[in-house]
Structure 1
Amino acid sequence: MIDIRDAYRRALDGFGSRLHLVQDDQWELPTPCVDWDVRGLVNHVVVENLWAPELLGGRAAAEMGDAFDGDVLGDDPVKAFEVSAQGAIQAVYAEGALTAVTRLSFGDVVGEEYITELFADVLIHTWDLARATGGPERLDPQLVASCADWSARTQEDYPQAEPTGDGHRAWRDTDQQDRLLSAWGRNP
């Protein structure tokens, strides 16, 4: 199994590479996440990145309140992503991050589990961003396999895995990426 910190870093790199392809006229395009356009999706990923140093550093979600509510992208969404990703990566590689107790809104989890959640979220949203903007939709197969393994082991713990609302389920003979996306409520 791939080190989850490396998987998360690579997933952020994949998201970033697709983000750099977004054209000025694409920020308001709809995404597979029915509540978000491209800007909203990118904002969500940046907010998650901003939470990582705080939560892995020992702060509780309840302490933070609405610190990252609203639009955190400003005038340069790409730069906002890059800065937030750099901070998140530093936080996950910090000594003790894997064993730190992270106090999330729904309860406490060990750092490794929280980092795995971050990884899965950004990997799936990489596909969402690509689908919305016409970018490359094929995800890193090693990351897909790692995410699929985690998702299969924890699906009962995370039933709220951001379904898109269409209830689509992939056929058994589709590839692993399609099965993973389908399990997360996407229609590949």
Structure 2
Amino acid sequence: MTTSALLMIPEAIDRFGARVRGVPADRWDDPTPCTEWTVRDLVNHLVGEHLWAPHILAGEPLEQVGNRYDGDVVGADPVAAWERAAARSRALWPAADPAGPVQLSFGTVPLRDYADQMLVDLTVHQWDLARGSGQDETLDPAAVAYGLAYARANVERFIGMGVTAPPVPTTSTDPTVQLISLCGREV
């Protein structure tokens, strides 16, 4: 299961990037399902994650990276900022060792755990970005299935870490709706 997350991340980066490029010029300040973030804030979050990724994948300690990616990392051109960060991150995932240790804010874990989290983050935030900017909300079925299995197994931990809001109840059998609802979003 986790090796496939590593293989799925480059395409997930590409799908998120397509949504970034598709944001209409007048929608960057619109709200997203992530209640604290506008469209621009959401893209800033993902740019920051993908600026960090090469350091994490290289095994650098967090202290060495410091706070250089805190705050506004998209500047005046969120699309260009995304393209630069995504290109650097995307290039490294296919060759990453799934068993290799990486240091995250909550401890050292096997890279496969980081890959799982990144795939879910890219997938759910792709939906958030699409919803917030008025784009097609369709998600890749394989990424949704993978993300749903991972989220089901880890949702309580995510809530405890403050990574996601509590699940929104749903009776839908649609895997995308289940994943989005499980990650605390109203569909």
TM-score using structure 1 length: 0.91
Asked if 1 retains the 8 angstrom alpha-carbon contact of 2:21 and 2:79, the reply is: yes
Q: Which residue of 2 aligns with 1:32?
A: 33
- Whichever residue aligns with residue 145 of structure 2, its letter is A
Q: Distance in 2 between matches of 1:154 and 1:116?
A: 11
Q: Which residue of 1 aligns with 2:80?
A: 79
- Whichever residue aligns with residue 154 of structure 1, its letter is N
Asked if 1 retains the 8 angstrom alpha-carbon contact of 2:33 and 2:132, the reply is: yes
- Whichever residue aligns with residue 184 of structure 2, its letter is G
TM-score using structure 2 length: 0.91
- Whichever residue aligns with residue 155 of structure 1, its letter is V
Give the unaligned 5+ runs of structure 2: none
Asked if 2 retains the 8 angstrom alpha-carbon contact of 1:161 and 1:184, the reply is: no
Deviation, structure 1 residue 146: 0.7
Q: Distance in 2 between matches of 1:33 and 1:162?
A: 9
**Corresponding position: 1:155 with 2:129:** no
The 4+ residue runs of structure 1 with deviation greater than 6 A are: none
Q: Distance in 2 between matches of 1:66 and 1:105?
A: 12
Give the root-mean-square deviation of aligned CA atoms.
1.7
**Corresponding position: 1:68 with 2:38:** no
Deviation, structure 1 residue 161: 3.8
Asked if 2 retains the 8 angstrom alpha-carbon contact of 1:99 and 1:110, the reply is: yes
Q: Which residue of 2 aligns with 1:6?
A: 7
Identical positions, percent: 37
Q: Secondary structure at the match of 2:157?
A: coil
Q: Distance in 1 between matches of 2:95 and 2:84?
A: 17
Q: Which residue of 1 aligns with 2:186?
A: 187
Q: Which residue of 2 aligns with 1:104?
A: 104
Deviation, structure 1 residue 29: 0.4
Asked if 1 retains the 8 angstrom alpha-carbon contact of 2:103 and 2:109, the reply is: yes
Asked if 1 retains the 8 angstrom alpha-carbon contact of 2:47 and 2:86, the reply is: yes
Q: Distance in 1 between matches of 2:96 and 2:26?
A: 42
- Tell me the alpha carbon deviations over residues 46-71 of structure 1, each in whole angstroms, 9 at most, x when there is no partner: 00001111011011223322110111
Q: Distance in 2 between matches of 1:95 and 1:41?
A: 26
Q: Distance in 1 between matches of 2:177 and 2:156?
A: 20
**Segment of structure 1 superposing worse, 146-155 or 29-38:** 146-155
- Tell me the alpha carbon deviations over residues 85-120 of structure 1, each in whole angstroms, 9 at most, x when there is no partner: 111112222353x22211111111111110111111
Greater share of helix residues, 1 or 2? 2
Q: Distance in 2 between matches of 1:95 and 1:106?
A: 20
Give the unaligned 5+ runs of structure 1: none
Q: Which residue of 2 aligns with 1:46?
A: 47
Q: Which residue of 1 aligns with 2:120?
A: 120
